[in-house]
């Protein structure tokens, strides 16, 4: 986007909105009047379609009772598979490689329990030091279950700057004692996109299985998991996919691995036609369904039915294109309007390396976030001094971006943030 005098005006932002082919989707969402929501990378907003699909499934319980498992527009017994089919294009997978089930951490436990098979010298798991804590907790737990000490058997690639990772450092850490690799697709703080294709190729050259946490990338950037030959992936559906708080997660298993016995078997790991035979020997599903565990949480899946329909209409490429325009515009305005106020941009500048949010650091970040909220702007604070801002393609506008920057500029110039304690809330 060219830096001209006009690009810093409200009129310019409004002109960009008039040219936006996705503008009509904003009306699909419940947006607080006068508010600006920039926290869709933590929890996406409720859409009218998601609300309707939740109410529809509630009605199916009312109408059918237990027959809701096989009756109605969205029979519960097949809902995990149905949503997996619809979600597969977002991750570049075959329909039978994706299932909506569990949660991020439960699915990670399942996948590591399935694919972490220490053998001989290969006993270690490779991760990184910038990953979301829940993933690291799960990996340490799985190592302990196998009798290994996480302090020696969890290898975490270091960051040179505390914000990003170098792919070459990750490749260098793929030594012959590594049995499994688990990495984020997009780093939750800085928004850096890792080169999943290259990392997968390098892992496979060394006969190491590799999987990715897609929590901060699904619904925001395109993926080609099957073409890249990624072994497995897992994610939540409540951030960019707008599936609702605590919404059911998703997982992908490359069809090459179909038939691998699930590490954590359960009721819904079964082949559908055998499940109610009640045999004590599991006949596992012959596709990704084998990696489900328990009974699906129907009402936590219900909003995804409506939410995913918009992604299928628009296509992830268009969403990505607008997302990049929004974050480019945001960074341009911040550079112009907030120079001298102590903000440091820590996300990658290059488009191909940047996800759907930007990451700022400021010594008064917690106070600044509280001041923004007091002015009707919802950001995301990350301890100790980080501010994440996520203008979401389906419901944020360029005018939102312009207004937010003006509000932030006023907060800094008038020192309004000093009214607040520089300390995070219970939930940040």
Series of mean pLDDT values for 10-residue runs along the chain (428 residues): 71 97 98 96 98 98 98 97 98 98 98 98 98 97 98 98 97 98 98 98 98 98 98 98 97 98 97 96 98 97 98 97 98 97 97 97 97 97 95 98 98 96 77
Amino acid 160: pLDDT = 96
d(CA 222, CA 128): 23
Give the DSSP letter of residue 156: E
**Helices 298-314/316-337 angle, 10° precision:** 90
Give the DSSP H/E element, type plus range, for residue 155: strand 154-157
CATH number of 5-30+316-419: 3.90.1150.10
d(CA 49, CA 55): 10
Give the per-residue pLDDT at 243. 98
The answer, yes or no, to whether the previous bond of 384 is cis (omega within 30 of 0) is yes
CA angle in degrees (0–180, nearest 5) for 103-104-109: 95
159 close to 189: Cβ distance less than 8 angstroms: no
Which CATH number is correct for 51-313, 3.30.365.10, 3.40.640.10, 3.90.650.10, 3.90.25.10?
3.40.640.10
Residue 252 main-chain phi, psi, to 5 deg: -125, 135
Pairing of strands 232-235, 209-213: parallel
Helix-, strand-, coil-residue percentages of the chain, each rounded to 5 = 45, 15, 40
For 281, phi then psi, to 5°, come to -105, 120
Q: What is the pTM for the complete model shown?
A: 0.96
Q: In whole angstroms, what is the distance from residue 196 CA to residue 232 CA?
A: 12
C-alpha 331, offset from chain centre: 22
What pLDDT does 4 receive? Answer: 54
CB proximity list for 207: less than 8 A, separation 6 or greater? none
- The annotation places the binding site at 104-105, 132-135, 213, 216, 238, 267, 295
Tell me how crowded residue 297 is: count the other CB atoms within 10 A of its CB.
16
Q: What is the pLDDT of residue 58?
A: 98
Q: For residues 242 and 306, what is the distance between their CA atoms, to the nearest angstrom? A: 9
Rounded-to-integer distance, Cα 178 and Cα 202, Å: 13
Distance in angstroms between the alpha carbons of the first and the last residue of the chain: 32
- CA angle (76 as vertex; 236, 274 as ends), nearest 5: 105
Instruction: Please give the structure tokens belonging to residue 182.
Output: 């688990």
- Distances from the Cα of 333 to the Cα of 1, 13, 40, 274, 327, angstroms: 11, 11, 20, 59, 10
Rounded Cα–Cα distance for residues 163 and 191 (Å) = 9
Enumerate residues 6+ apart whose C-beta is below 8 A from 55. Answer: none
| Rounded-to-integer distance, Cα 51 and Cα 29, Å | 10
Cα dist from 242 to 139, 179, 239, whole Å: 27, 34, 6
Q: Are the C-beta atoms of 93 and 226 separated by less than 8 Å?
A: yes
* Binding site, annotated residues for pyridoxal 5'-phosphate: 104-105, 132-135, 213, 216, 238, 267, 295
Where do the domains of the chain lie? 5-30+316-419, 51-313
Find the radius of gyration of the CA atoms of the chain. 22
Separation of alpha carbons 209 and 211, rounded Å: 7
Q: What is the pLDDT at residue 423?
A: 82
């Amino acid at each position: 986007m060219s830096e001209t005098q006009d690009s810093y005006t409200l009129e310019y932002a409004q002109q960009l909105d008039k040219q936006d082919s996705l503008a009509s989707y904003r009306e699909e969402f419940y947006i607080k009047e006068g508010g600006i929501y920039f926290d869709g990378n933590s929890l996406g907003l409720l859409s009218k379609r998601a609300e309707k699909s939740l109410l529809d499934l509630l009605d199916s319980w009312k109408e059918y009772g237990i027959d809701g498992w096989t009756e109605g527009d969205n029979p519960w017994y097949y809902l995990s598979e149905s949503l997996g089919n619809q979600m597969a294009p977002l991750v570049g997978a075959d329909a039978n490689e994706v299932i909506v089930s569990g949660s991020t951490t439960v699915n990670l436990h399942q996948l590591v329990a399935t694919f972490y098979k220490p053998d001989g010298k290969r006993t270690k798991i490779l991760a990184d030091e910038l990953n979301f804590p829940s993933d690291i907790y799960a990996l340490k737990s799985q190592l302990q279950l196998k009798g290994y000490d996480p302090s020696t058997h969890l290898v975490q690639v270091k960051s040179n700057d505390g914000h990003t990772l170098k792919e070459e450092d990750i490749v260098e850490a793929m030594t012959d004692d590594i049995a499994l690799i688990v990495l984020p697709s997009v780093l939750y703080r800085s928004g850096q996109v890792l080169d999943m294709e290259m990392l997968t190729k390098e892992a496979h050259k060394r006969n190491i299985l590799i999987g990715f946490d897609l929590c901060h990338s699904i619904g925001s950037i395109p993926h080609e998991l099957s073409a890249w030959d990624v072994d497995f992936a897992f994610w939540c559906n409540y951030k960019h996919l707008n599936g609702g708080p605590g919404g059911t997660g998703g997982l992908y298993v490359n069809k090459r691995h179909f038939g691998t016995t699930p590490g954590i078997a359960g009721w819904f790991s079964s082949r559908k036609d055998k499940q109610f035979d009640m045999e004590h020997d599991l006949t596992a599903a012959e596709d990704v369904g084998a990696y489900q565990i328990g009974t699906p949480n129907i009402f936590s899946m219900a909003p995804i039915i409506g939410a995913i329909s918009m992604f299928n209409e628009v296509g992830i490429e268009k969403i990505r294109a607008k997302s990049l325009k929004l974050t480019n515009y945001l960074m341009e305005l911040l550079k112009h309007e907030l120079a001298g106020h102590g903000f440091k941009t820590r996300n990658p500048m290059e488009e191909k390396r940047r996800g759907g949010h930007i990451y700022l650091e400021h010594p008064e970040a917690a106070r600044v976030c509280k001041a923004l909220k007091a002015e009707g702007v919802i950001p995301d604070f990350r301890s100790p001094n980080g501010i994440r801002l996520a203008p979401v393609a389906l419901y944020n506008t360029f005018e939102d971006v312009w207004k937010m920057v003006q509000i932030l500029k006023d907060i800094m110039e008038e020192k309004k943030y000093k009214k607040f304690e520089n300390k995070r809330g219970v939930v940040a």
